[in-house]
Structure 1
């Protein structure tokens, strides 16, 4: 199974990228590719830019990564209750090439934050929007207080870890 994991953030120290990578690693025998949205940096989307310069090649490269995957594990970072600008921009450019960005791939949607909210607002937004862009959402989980529950590369909160392990087992079945 080819698993594509990424944090919907451009932070070099993205806790959402860490969570997505950890979750994808729970699938036994999977080949995991971890994306960094910084590798798909593009100018700020606008119709004027598209008319003048066309769609950047990075948008197609992002879509190609999705196309090669059997499963996507995406952890959504929250900026003021919404998607990060980096994710939204990547998504907007990709959707100019293929409206169904997620190409009917199974998706595990995650979110985390340093605080007790666990980025639930952006996760709710994603869960509402993902199906419109042909994501087959298999399940989701919000992980609150990331720095309290993730220690030395492992989730130390037994209940959260069991929930994540069960979710990833469902995804690999």
Structure 2
């Protein structure tokens, strides 16, 4: 049984990416899944001054511990203006200051979702490129476009082709653990 950490890179209380992560986590029977809603994790905007004055917050150290204890990590990133959100970028800035290799040897299932037709692909691609810098061993990806047309909270992914693609990447991720 593997331990998997799952979270969305969003601090929104209505995050479609958290809904996708929560659904994905529900498919991982036989594994210990730690599902975190980052809307409950306030992190100050990173600056060297804040780091020097206050150090690392308990929330950040706790979050880093969840990553360390996981065999694999599922992340779904949101997109603002074609790139990762400031919240997720800020989180990676803080984590990299605490430990540059905070994803060392971790298998990552990286996803994105948005109400738009591109499925937050800009944020997905940007994040996919940066995660190996933080030590990620491998990254498998999935994007869910047109979230409100393709996802139902009771049923999951309702588009057959997207559901099949999602199932394939989840299977690939689990088999890599």
- Residue by residue, what CA displacement relative to the aligned partner does 1:109-164 show, whole Å, maximum 9, x if unpaired? 00010010100000010111011111123410111001101123411111111111
TM-score, length basis structure 1: 0.94
In structure 1, the residue matched to 2:60 is: 59
| Structure 2 Cα separation of the partners of residues 34 and 85 of structure 1 | 21
Q: Secondary structure at the match of 2:81?
A: coil
Contact 2:108 2:136 in 1 (8 A): yes
In structure 1, the residue matched to 2:5 is: 4
Contact 2:11 2:40 in 1 (8 A): no
In structure 2, the residue matched to 1:36 is: 37
- Residue by residue, what CA displacement relative to the aligned partner does 1:25-45 show, whole Å, maximum 9, x if unpaired? 222312221112233312211
The root-mean-square deviation of aligned C-alpha atoms, in Å, is: 1.3
In structure 1, the residue matched to 2:158 is: 156
In structure 2, the residue matched to 1:136 is: 137
TM-score, length basis structure 2: 0.92
Candidates 151, 155, 167, aligned match of 1:165: 167
Residues matched between the structures, number: 173
| Structure 1 Cα separation of the partners of residues 44 and 174 of structure 2 | 36
Contact 1:37 1:87 in 2 (8 A): no
Give unmatched runs, 5+ long, in structure 2: none
Q: CA offset at residue 11 of structure 1?
A: 0.6
Contact 1:109 1:137 in 2 (8 A): no
| Structure 2 Cα separation of the partners of residues 24 and 71 of structure 1 | 12
- Residue by residue, what CA displacement relative to the aligned partner does 1:90-110 show, whole Å, maximum 9, x if unpaired? 221121110012122100000
Quickly say closer, same or farther: Cα 1:92–1:138, change in 2 above 3 A. Answer: closer
